[in-house]
Amino acid sequence: MSEVAEKKKRNPGCIIAIVMVVLGALAAYGGNALLKPIAPAVILPAEPVWPGSPMTNTMLATIIADILLILLAFSVYRFLKKGDLVPGGIYNAFEVLFEFLWATVEGASGKWARRIIPLVGTIFLLIFVANMIKLVPGFESIGYLEHPHRGYAYGITPLFTLGSLPVYALNSDERYNVTLEVEESGEAEVAASAEHELCQECIVVPFLRGSATDLNFTFALAVIAVLMTQVYGVWALGPRYFLKFFAITELSKGIFGIINFGVGLLELILEFAKILSFSFRLFGNIFAGVLLLSIIGALLPIILPPGLYMFEIFFGIIQAYVFFLLATMFISMALVSHHGEEHGEEHH
């Protein structure tokens, strides 16, 4: 017992944590203005990575997530080629994750699981990785300075120079309310002057921003999921899959046949509604999480933000799984005929 107590006394973890909290409190509430937290500007559309660039910051974040996924896939492939039956580390975690996803898809779609898992599994991994990398320090906080046309802005203070590139920080003591309303000619003058001098009332446009905070990203995934639902439906049932939407044969069955025909048209409308449901659910939840982190981080920058980061990790996994699960269920429902009979033929 004495040895255990001695190890606990020598463990510096608690002391380091206390020192970090104290230093954070001093920096946030009594330190230099450059160290105090600043609430970021809330901008809904994705911004260009650099002024005039066709690539947006969410697009760049998505490319980074894609590269990480490709490297992970290549790494797992090389591990499997070695024939080692005892995975460890990241391979073990990946195996557990894949087995969980496989069990979900197999339980919902049966023999079609091998054909569905590449699509829905890739969607899950992409959303999961995109949600995780947005929590890396620097996302949505490091970028270039820009003068806003309206809202609030801060003064700037030079920090240091990297080669010929000066680095600035926002000064929390210099906050301005910007109510600039410029006409078309005025916008040209502002743009021309911005090329020659640095703004004095600025906001930070980040180089990187979470992919799912851009509605284009979530909308694209929703379109792919719904479109592939129709592809799998035709693959399993053939042309008679479309009788679910256009029940022409039901028109000869009297009033109830007409009702069934109307229900088919409603199901067609529902397919388009799925796109909106998919995209806005993921976008709204992730964007709200980013706002929560930024607001709480500005109001209470110590103790609470680490807990919110843990919550965001859990929340990012849940949102990826919800999108994956809904896509799996919709595809599985498309594999079943309108009369509830599964198409038993194998198409090659």
Q: What pLDDT, on a 0 to 100 scale, did the predictor assign at position 180?
A: 57
Q: What pLDDT, on a 0 to 100 scale, did the predictor assign at position 3?
A: 56
The token pair that represents 139 in the structure block: 């996302």
The greatest distance separating any two alpha carbons of the chain, rounded to the nearest whole angstrom, comes to: 88
Rounded-to-5 percentages of helix, strand, coil across the chain: 65, 10, 25
Average pLDDT per block of 10 residues along the chain, 348 residues long: 55 78 78 77 88 92 95 86 73 87 93 94 95 89 86 86 84 80 47 58 91 94 95 90 80 76 86 92 91 82 81 91 95 76 45
Q: Are 123 and 221 in contact (CB under 8 A)?
A: yes
User: In angstroms, what CA-CA distances link 276 with 225, 324, 334?
Assistant: 12, 16, 19
Write the CB contacts of 136 (distance below 8 Å, at least 6 apart in sequence): none
Amino acid at 270: L
Q: Nearest-CA neighbor of 69 among 40, 90, 38?
A: 90
Q: Nearest-CA neighbor of 260 among 249, 270, 269?
A: 249
The token pair that represents 172 in the structure block: 């929390």
**Helices (H), ranges, 44-144:** 57-82, 90-109, 113-133
Q: What pLDDT, on a 0 to 100 scale, did the predictor assign at position 230?
A: 93
Pairing of strands 151-162, 143-146: unpaired
